[in-house]
Structures are given as C-alpha cells and as structure tokens.
C-alpha cells in the first residue's frame, strides 16, 4: 500500500515538473518573439527611402516660384521680383525717340506743326483742384479740367525744367470715351513726345532722358471736341 502511494506521489511530482518545464519553455519562446518584434520595428523605423535629390542643401530659394496669389483654375507661375513690364502700344508710322521714355521704352515724337491742322491752344491747370490736392499733402500735382476741340493740340501754360531721371505722371479720363488722345511732353524746341491714350481713361509715367524745359500736351485726334479731366504729378 505504501509502495503504491509513493508511486503516485512520484508520478504527481513528475507531472508537476513536466508542467513547470513546459511553462518555462513557452515563456522563453514568448520573450524571444517579443525581442524579434522589437528589433524588426527598430529596423523598419530606420529604413530610408530612395533619395529624390531634394535635400535642403540642393534647393536654390532664388529660383522658387510664387503661386500664393493663385486661387483657382490652372496654376500660373511667376518669378518673384522679376516681373516683365508691359509695353505700351505706339502709333505705327510715327517716328520714335529715347529723349523721353516710358520705363526703358521709346515713345512717339513729332516735330512742331506736324499734327493735324496744326491748331494749338494753351490751357491753365485747375487752380481750385490743384490747391486742394496740395493742401491734402499731394505735392507737385496739378489738376486738369479742359475741353479740347477736334484735331487740336492743347498745351499747358506752365512749364518745368526737368533733369535726366526725373519723372512726370499724367492720368486722364475723358468723354466721349471712344476718342483717341496723344498725351506727352513738349520740349523747348517744340518736339512733342507722346503715347496714345484710348478707352476713356489712361495713365502713363514719362522718364526724362535729356534735361530740358517741358510742358504737358494733349492732342485730340478726333474730329469732335473732348472733355478731359485728370492730373499731372511731377
């Protein structure tokens, strides 16, 4: 009886030993799996994709394009600070000169008496409006409010001695809007340097290339009179 009881005890102990051994082996396997998983995750996170040649060192910021103003539609790219100035249309068949320019562009020029009938009138600047502009801090600005007969050259009563690099801006609106005007400067010899104004409103800034005394001039190419308003800023 005692022998049988000892046999059962040894059998039980051996079963417990086997169970413990199996748990220990399973634990070792689990730990190894966890270690491999961690290593694989570390390798995955450190893998670098193929180089696309876009490192910070290779980017030239001066060649980047500005498309921030594009809201919709096809994207239009423009190089920042490198805008090409728009060229003004000149009159075909007329001579040009660089004694007065618009930016770096030549302007039309005619000698005295070569326009239309050769009729000329002088016009004063609007003193009231000119005083108002200067009172609110807009210096060297002169208001224009005049009616110009058809095919007539209107010349300002006031002239200025302008040196190389100085600018004169003329901004006008007129009726009828379909009339074409020639707007510009006349030098001391009577040469008229001008650009065409169309559409009922226009503005231009002339740059003096040769120092001289200049007057503002407006030629009405239409056969009917036009009423002109605007200003000259020097």
Query: Mind listing the pLDDT tens digit for each residue in 198-221?
Result: 999 999 999 999 999 999 999 999
Q: What is the pLDDT of residue 133?
A: 67
What average pLDDT does the chain have?
75
Instruction: Return the higher-pLDDT residue of 76 and 131.
Output: 131
Domain-embedded: residue 211? yes
Please state the rounded mean pLDDT for residues 133-153.
84
**Distance from C-alpha of 206 to C-alpha of 101, rounded to nearest angstrom:** 6
Q: Are residues 26 and 109 in the same domain?
A: no
Pick the range with the lowest mean pLDDT from 2-16, 26-40, 41-55: 41-55
Where is pLDDT greater, at 76 or 28? Answer: 28
User: Do 31 and 115 sit in the same domain of this protein?
Assistant: no
- Quick one: pLDDT at residue 218? 97
pLDDT at position 224, please? Answer: 95
Q: How many domains are contained in the chain?
A: 2
In a shared domain, residues 121 and 25 = no
pLDDT of residue 126: 83
Could you tell me if 116 and 193 lie in one domain?
A: yes
Percent of the chain, pLDDT > 90?
Answer: 47
Percent of all residues in the chain with a pLDDT value above 70, rounded to a whole number: 61
Q: What is the pLDDT of residue 147?
A: 96
Please report the pLDDT score of residue 164 as a whole number: 97
Convert the pLDDT of each residue in 77-98 to its tens digit.
333 454 445 678 898 888 999 9
Yes or no: say if 195 and 90 are a contact pair by the CB < 8 Å rule. Answer: yes
Confidence of residue 11 (pLDDT cuts 50, 70, 90): low
Q: What is the CATH number of the domain that holds 205?
A: 2.60.120.380
**Of 93-102, 136-145, 161-170, which range is least confident?**
136-145
Domain limits for position 102: 96-233
In a domain, 88, yes or no: no
Which pLDDT score is estimated for 88? 83
Mean pLDDT for 53-72 is: 45
Please choose, from the candidates 166, 159, 146, the residue with its C-alpha nearest in 3D space to the C-alpha of residue 211: 166
Q: What is the pLDDT of residue 33?
A: 52
């Amino acid at each position: 009886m005692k022998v049988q009881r000892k046999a059962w005890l040894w059998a039980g102990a051996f079963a417990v030993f086997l169970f413990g051994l199996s748990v220990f082996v399973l634990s070792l396997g689990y730990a190894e799996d966890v270690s491999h998983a961690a290593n694989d995750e570390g390798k995955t996170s450190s893998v670098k994709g193929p180089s696309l040649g876009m490192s910070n060192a290779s980017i030239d910021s001066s060649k980047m394009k500005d498309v921030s103003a594009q809201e919709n539609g096809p994207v239009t790219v423009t190089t920042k600070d490198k805008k090409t100035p728009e060229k003004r249309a000149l009159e075909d068949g007329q001579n040009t000169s660089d004694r007065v320019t618009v930016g770096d562009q030549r302007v039309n020029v005619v000698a005295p008496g070569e326009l239309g009938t050769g009729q000329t009138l002088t016009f004063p600047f609007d003193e009231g409006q000119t005083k108002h502009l200067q009172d609110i801090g807009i210096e060297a600005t002169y208001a224009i409010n005049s009616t110009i007969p058809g095919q007539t050259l209107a010349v300002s009563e006031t002239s200025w001695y302008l040196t190389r690099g100085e600018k004169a801006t003329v901004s006008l609106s007129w009726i009828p809007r379909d009339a074409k005007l020639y707007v510009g400067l006349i030098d001391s010899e009577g040469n008229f340097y001008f650009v065409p104004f169309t559409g009922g409103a226009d503005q231009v800034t002339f740059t003096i290339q040769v120092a001289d005394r200049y007057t503002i001039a407006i030629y009405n190419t239409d056969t009917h009179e036009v009423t002109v308003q605007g200003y000259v800023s020097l």
